[in-house]
């Protein structure tokens, strides 16, 4: 469901035990998941990248958005700015579903 406002929302990255280690912001859960995926250990190519489950709890709610995420290294574009390194980390995610927590 799309929101009418342009406010960013905060999503806490949860591990298997339910501990929340990092917070990522974005207008949509996917945007936050892409930010989290870029921090994964990148593979050499997209096909060789290892998939990881990302569980993001939307702050202020009991919803946990579940994604498969992967990252890989790629050459920077030719017209890159001077401060950008020659190799960048790209990422992608695929939504698996939403889980509702009993308690926060």
Distances (CA, A) of 97 to 7, 23, 79, 82, 104: 23, 19, 38, 40, 19
Task: Tally the domains of the chain.
Answer: 1
Please state the pTM of the whole predicted model.
Answer: 0.86
- 3 domain-assigned: no
- 2 domain-assigned: no
Where in the sequence is the domain holding 64, given as residue range(s)? 9-100
**Number of Cβ atoms within 10 Å of the Cβ of 19:** 9
Distance in angstroms (rounded) separating the CA atoms of residues 54 and 11: 11
pLDDT at position 39 is: 95
What does the pLDDT average to over 72-84? 95
The rounded Cα 19 to chain-centroid distance in angstroms is 17
pLDDT band, residue 18 (cuts 50/70/90): confident
- 50 domain-assigned: yes
- 4 domain-assigned: no
pLDDT at residue 3 above 60? no
pLDDT at residue 102 above 90? no
């Amino acid at each position: 469901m799309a929101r009418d406002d342009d406010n960013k929302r905060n999503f806490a990255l949860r591990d298997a035990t339910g501990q929340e280690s990092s917070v990522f912001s974005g207008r949509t859960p996917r945007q936050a998941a892409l930010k989290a995926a870029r921090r994964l250990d990148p593979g050499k190519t997209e096909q060789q990248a290892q998939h990881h489950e990302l569980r993001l709890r939307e702050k202020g709610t009991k919803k946990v958005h579940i994604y498969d995420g992967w990252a890989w290294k790629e050459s920077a574009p030719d017209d890159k700015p001077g401060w950008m390194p020659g190799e960048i980390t790209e990422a992608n995610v695929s939504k698996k579903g939403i889980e509702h927590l009993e308690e926060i």
